[in-house]
């Protein structure tokens, strides 16, 4: 208490804060969803506080809901009816007894009106004051403020006058290449590059239209478009006692559609002198707006030493984990401490870096189609094992749906090691272990970035993806032994199904349960029709005591292995041992090999019909469509082949039938509901997968196999149980 406030070499004021520090919060409301909500919840819980969260109708089963102590429904699926309803969120906070609101990022995180509304009712907004949000939210005003503070900005026009004549005259003075940028927002919306002045008017009209639609504000600013700049940002933190520090830099140059997809810390090639100058500029920017909490000052770095202020994000950034890895700090914990009125835990000279961290963002999107978002059910999800070197932040689980309502971010994969080359090796290995089947993802593109020579030598700038797109978007090669691996997986699945059915029968020792390819007076032989949809192949499999001999179009190989219930296949093909994953959805089969997907189709009409899965789990939609008719309800007992639901898709009707005798546990949709491809329609339990007393028919009994070759429908789940949760 007797300490004297001072100023350290980093420039921030240090004051003691032990005495009279407000207590920590007892209950915090997390006003977000997805991976950031889950990430914040974990820190809040670790610090001994209880968590309240909110959810939309579409997120009733979401991960963040299950992690919180309480979760409140606030509206429909569209964000405008739920996560953007500040009044509803504040009402929940007050009714639940929360004392503070953490907005995460996105939605209301940078909404000054929401921050003020929280303060008006006595809630602590875990973020900067509304004045700082407003000052930095207006890009034109922010750049003018930075100019007055002596922070370098890109030469350009940041004025209030927005007439076509004024802007055209400013553009002539700036010259080309020219950047038009929305004044009220970011994320690449309302941004256009003008190479020639005769293109200016059309580009301006387009940028204004997009800015108005995205932000409700069509004002723009103009600036010189810098050739091959790097995007380098500084993490800053400030408290209510006047202390401001920076937590070093991140390089976020690899982007698509002006949005980051790869971030790393520290920035490659950063000298101590440049780090000091950029850090000091970022601290000064925070001071200029009276900042409190976590923020990021973003710069464009040109050449070796020239940098220009671009914008300040008044929230926690998506890429904050790389800073946490190199500093060993929890930035959400710092946010909570600052919001509770406590001083920053460390001075500038006490902050150090160790090692190198890289983050990649895994999106449900289609890189080859202009990075269009992809939707649907996540049929299979397996992430790399986490530990001191690998971290996975996600808000989804296997079986969840990626919808059109929210950002398609699936996860952030973050790696750390002693230096950049070692971190990149970690990244390549971790990406190979990241498996997702369902909506399309950018995983193969991220793997291509991690393996690209230009990335390895840190030849970075914001045009990296566009310049190397032919390499990054190339179709990855399929496994040369994909047919052999998939065939072995199907054969092992059938064998497991036959064994399960035998155990459930009155005569488990009957040889007919293990009739794999039996033929009179000939060696056993199983015929599979398998391959790409447009090029199926006939594969002959000859069972033996140690596995199979497979006759493939490319030749004959031996195959043996083990398949577990999750679809993990350990296989030895022609003497080469492999570990892959097989995911089956009806007759569609996906081979996942080192993170790369090979899509195959299995013609197996004895066990499947279009759009169905084998007994014991789920019935899914074969394509996007509309529910035309529902013939059953929960609790209905049905026989194999009985119609359950009819879809209308592409002007055709598709009837989903029962794959076996069993019971309908749940019907997910009603008439006129829209469904996406792969979405679960009906939860079904077959008699064969119930209690053992519900025995499968013995050979010779009614509904038993009619011939030795006709094995019963497998009682075990398909490869794998595609997203079904324990019921």
Instruction: Give me the active site residues, please.
Output: 315
Q: Which of 231, 297, 633 is nearest to 463 (CA)?
A: 231
How far is 101 from 148, CA to CA, in rounded Å? 33
SS (H, E, C) 178-227: EEEEECCCCCCCCEEEECCHHHHHHHHHHHHHHHHHHHCCCCEEEEECCC
615 token code pair: 């007994």
| Structure token digits, residue 50 | 């209880």
Burial 23-52 (b: 16+ CB within 10 A, else e): ebbebbbbbbbbbbbbbbbebbeeeebbbb
Q: What is d(CA 659, CA 636) in angstroms, rounded to the nearest whole number?
A: 14
In this structure, what token pair is assigned to residue 668? 């997910």
Q: List all residues 6 or more positions away from 272 whose beta carbon is below 8 Å from its beta carbon.
A: none
The whole-angstrom separation of Cα 178 and Cα 184 is: 19
Sequence-ordered list of residues with C-beta below 8 angstroms from that of 558, at least 6 positions apart, any chain: 547, 548, 549, 550, 572, 573, 574, 575
CA distance 90 to 72: 12
Peptide bond into 177 cis (omega under 30): yes
**Phi, psi values for residue 20, rounded to 5°:** 70, 15
**Rounded to whole angstroms, how far apart are CA atoms 712 and 719?**
17
Stated length of the chain = 727
CA dihedral in degrees (382, 387, 391, 393; nearest 10)? 60
Exposed/middle/buried for 709, CB within 10 Å: 0-12, 13-18, 19+? middle
End-to-end alpha-carbon separation of the chain, Å?
58
8 A C-beta contact, residue 708 and residue 522: no
Phi and psi, residue 412, nearest 5° = -115, 120
Compute CA distances 469 → 251, 367, 385, 596, whole Å: 20, 10, 30, 18
Q: What's the rounded Cα separation, in Å, for the pair 364 and 407?
A: 9
Q: What is the DSSP string of 657-695?
A: E-SSSEEEEEE---TT-EE-TT-EEEEEEEGGGS-TTSP
Q: Which residues pair with 124 in a beta bridge?
A: 100
The rounded distance, in Å, linking the Cα atoms of 472 and 451 is: 10
Q: Three-state SS for 5?
A: coil
As beta bridge partners, residue 222 has 157, 180
Secondary structure of residue 492 in the 3-state scheme:
helix
Q: What is the DSSP string of 129-181?
A: -HHHHHHHHSHHHHHHHHHHTT--B-SEE--S---HHHHHHHHHHH-SSEEEE
């Amino acid at each position: 208490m007797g300490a004297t406030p001072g100023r350290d070499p980093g420039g921030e004021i240090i004051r003691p804060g032990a005495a009279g520090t407000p207590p920590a919060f007892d209950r915090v409301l997390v006003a977000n969803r997805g991976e950031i909500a889950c990430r914040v919840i974990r820190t809040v819980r670790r610090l001994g506080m209880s968590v309240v969260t909110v959810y939309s109708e579409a997120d009733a089963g979401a991960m963040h809901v299950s992690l919180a102590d309480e979760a409140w429904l606030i509206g429909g699926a569209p964000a405008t009816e739920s996560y953007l309803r500040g009044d509803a969120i504040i009402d929940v906070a007050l009714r639940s007894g929360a004392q503070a609101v953490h907005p995460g990022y996105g939605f209301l995180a940078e909404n000054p009106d929401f921050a003020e509304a929280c303060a008006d009712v006595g809630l602590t907004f875990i973020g900067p004051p509304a004045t700082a949000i407003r000052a930095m939210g207006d890009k034109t005003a922010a750049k003018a403020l930075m100019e007055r503070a002596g922070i370098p900005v890109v030469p350009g026009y940041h004025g209030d006058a927005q007439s076509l004549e004024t802007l055209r005259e400013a553009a002539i003075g700036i010259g080309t290449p020219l950047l038009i940028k929305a004044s009220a927002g970011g994320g690449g919306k309302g941004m256009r590059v003008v190479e020639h002045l005769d293109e200016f008017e059309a580009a301006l009209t387009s940028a204004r239209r997009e800015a108005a639609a995205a932000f409700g504000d069509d004002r723009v600013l103009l600036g010189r478009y810098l050739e091959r700049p790097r995007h380098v940002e500084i993490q800053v933190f400030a408290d209510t006692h006047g202390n401001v520090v920076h937590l070093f830099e991140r390089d976020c140059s690899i982007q698509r559609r002006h949005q980051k997809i790869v971030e790393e810390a520290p920035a490659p090639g950063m000298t101590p002198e440049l780090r000091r100058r950029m850090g000091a500029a970022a601290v000064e920017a925070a001071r200029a707006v009276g900042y409190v909490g976590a923020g990021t000052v973003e710069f464009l770095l040109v050449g070796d030493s020239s940098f220009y202020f671009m914008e300040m994000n008044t929230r926690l950034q998506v890429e904050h984990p790389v800073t946490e890895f190199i500093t060993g700090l929890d930035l959400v914990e710092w946010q909570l401490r600052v919001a509770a009125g406590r001083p920053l835990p460390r001075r500038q000279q006490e902050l150090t870096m160790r090692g190198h961290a890289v983050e990649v963002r895994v999106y449900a999107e289609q890189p080859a189609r202009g990075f269009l978002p992809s939707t649907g059910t996540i049929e299979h999800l397996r992430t790399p094992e986490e530990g001191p070197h690998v971290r996975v932040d996600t808000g989804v689980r296997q079986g969840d749906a990626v919808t059109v309502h929210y950002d398609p971010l699936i996860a952030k994969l973050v790696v750390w090691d002693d230096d950049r080359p070692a971190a990149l090796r970690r990244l390549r290995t971790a990406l190979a272990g990241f498996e997702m089947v369902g909506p399309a993802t950018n995983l193969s593109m991220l793997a291509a970035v991690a393996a690209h020579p230009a990335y390895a030598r840190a030849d970075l700038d914001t045009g990296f993806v566009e310049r190397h797109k032919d390499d990054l978007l190339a179709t990855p090669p399929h496994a040369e032994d994909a047919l052999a691996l998939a065939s072995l997986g199907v054969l092992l699945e059938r064998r497991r199904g036959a064994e399960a059915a035998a155990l459930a029968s009155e005569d488990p020792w009957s040889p007919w349960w293990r009739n794999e390819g039996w033929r009179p007076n000939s060696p056993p032989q199983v015929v599979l029709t398998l391959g790409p949809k447009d090029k199926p192949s006939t594969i002959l499999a000859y069972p033996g005591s140690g596995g199979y001999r497979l006759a493939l179009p490319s030749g004959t190989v031996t195959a043996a292995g083990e398949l577990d219930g999750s679809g993990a296949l350990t296989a030895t093909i022609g003497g080469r041992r492999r570990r892959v994953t097989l995911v089956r959805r009806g007759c569609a089969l996906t081979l996942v090999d080192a993170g790369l997907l090979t899509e195959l189709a299995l013609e197996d009409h004895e066990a499947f019909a279009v759009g169905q899965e084998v007994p014991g789990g789920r019935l899914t939609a074969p394509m996007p469509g509309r529910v035309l008719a529902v013939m059953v309800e929960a609790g209905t007992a049905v026989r194999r082949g009985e119609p359950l639901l009819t879809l209308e898709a592409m002007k055709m009707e598709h009837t989903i039938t029962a794959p076996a005798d069993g019971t309908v546990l749940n019907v997910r949709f009603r008439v006129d509901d829209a469904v996406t491809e792969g979405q679960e329609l009906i939860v079904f339990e077959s008699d064969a997968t119930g209690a053992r007393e519900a025995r499968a028919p013995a050979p010779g009994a009614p509904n038993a196999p009619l011939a030795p070759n006709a094995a019963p429908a497998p009682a075990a789940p398909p490869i794998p149980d595609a997203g079904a949760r324990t019921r």
